[in-house]
Amino acid sequence: MTKLKSLALGALVTAAVFVAKDVDAARPPADDTVASDADLEYLASIGGLYRNKGTDGAGESYNGIAAVLTRADSVRMIWWVDDETFSGVGELDRHSLVVQWGEKYPVIYSSTEEGVLSGEWDDGAGNDTLELFAPLDPEPAPTPRGDYRLKGVKPDGSAYTGTVSIMRAGESFVLVWTAGTESHRGKGKRQGNLLQVKRADGMPAIYALDTDGTLRGLLGKGRGEETLTPVQ
């Protein structure tokens, strides 16, 4: 995927991919009908935080982060690529999930293997893969607040540990990471069980909030990851 300016000028579309958390939540039926119970179950099952990678129509590869936020009969898609954010709304159409995001061509996704969905964008010129990192539970997670133990992996593969403190500031959240001699600060907002944080380096850190209070996040274009565990 290219940056937002290139996408807008070229009417490119980011393709997202989704996975069902429950193997029994089968793919949507093939018949051309209005949303059935199976359709609704499928849509509810694909909420999650994903690693995103693909190739654009010019053959340039990209990496990023994507999220699927489930609604009653549709899903809201959000993608973070470099320092740009894109969003769209998807609905089932026979075998496919079609996402409209305000450009000429929609994004079209089809199920492949468990844990992965593949999509096409830029009118089929680009391809995209999403791999599930953490599901988003439909039940509300606790409000993130307090001190957390930090375990992470940097984009270069090196591991680190430390602490994170999360404070509520009105409708926003302030996070402070401390790992060894390094300290970082960021500000985030919550949407459902998703916490979107903008770090001081300008790159997003996106966390899935679990009902047990744990936060699992992706950063560094999806190449890095973190787990925040509440300190009891």
Task: Identify the sign of the CA torsion 88, 193, 16, 5.
Answer: positive
Q: Which residue has the higher pLDDT, 160 or 23?
A: 160
Mean pLDDT for the chain overall: 83
Query: How crowded is residue 232: how many other Cβ atoms within 10 Å of its Cβ?
Result: 7
Please give the average per-residue pLDDT across 36-48, as a whole number: 82
- For the chain, the structural domain boundaries read 4-135, 146-230
Q: Which residue has the higher pLDDT, 115 or 136?
A: 136
**Is the CB of residue 157 less than 8 Å from the CB of residue 150?**
no
Percentage of residues in the chain having pLDDT higher than 70: 85
Q: For residue 141, what are its two tokens? A: 């997670």
146-230: CATH superfamily: Quinohemoprotein amine dehydrogenase alpha subunit, domain 2 (2.40.128.120)
Q: Which residue has the higher pLDDT, 205 or 15?
A: 205
DSSP conformation class of 29: P
The domains spanning 4-135 and 146-230 adopt the same CATH topology: yes
Please name which of 82, 85, 87, 86 lies closest in space to residue 202, comparing C-alpha atoms.
82
Please give the average per-residue pLDDT across 70-80, as a whole number: 89
Phi/psi for 145 (5° steps) reads -165, 140
What residue has token string 């926003």?
172
Strand intervals (E) in the chain? 48-55, 61-70, 75-81, 84-93, 96-100, 107-111, 116-121, 126-135, 146-153, 159-169, 172-179, 182-191, 194-199, 204-209, 215-219, 224-230
- Determine the topology of domain 4-135 in CATH: Lipocalin (2.40.128)
Q: What is the pLDDT of residue 142?
A: 96
Please name which of 113, 47, 107, 49 lies closest in space to residue 74, comparing C-alpha atoms.
47
Express each pLDDT in 123-171 by its tens digit.
999 888 989 999 999 899 999 999 999 999 999 999 999 999 999 999 9
Query: What is the distance of C-alpha 72 from the center of its chain?
Result: 19
Per-residue exposure over 153-165, b if at least 16 CB sit within 10 Å of its own CB, e if not: beeeeeeeebebe
Report d(CA 192, CA 116) in Å as an integer: 23
Q: Which residue has the higher pLDDT, 101 or 27?
A: 101
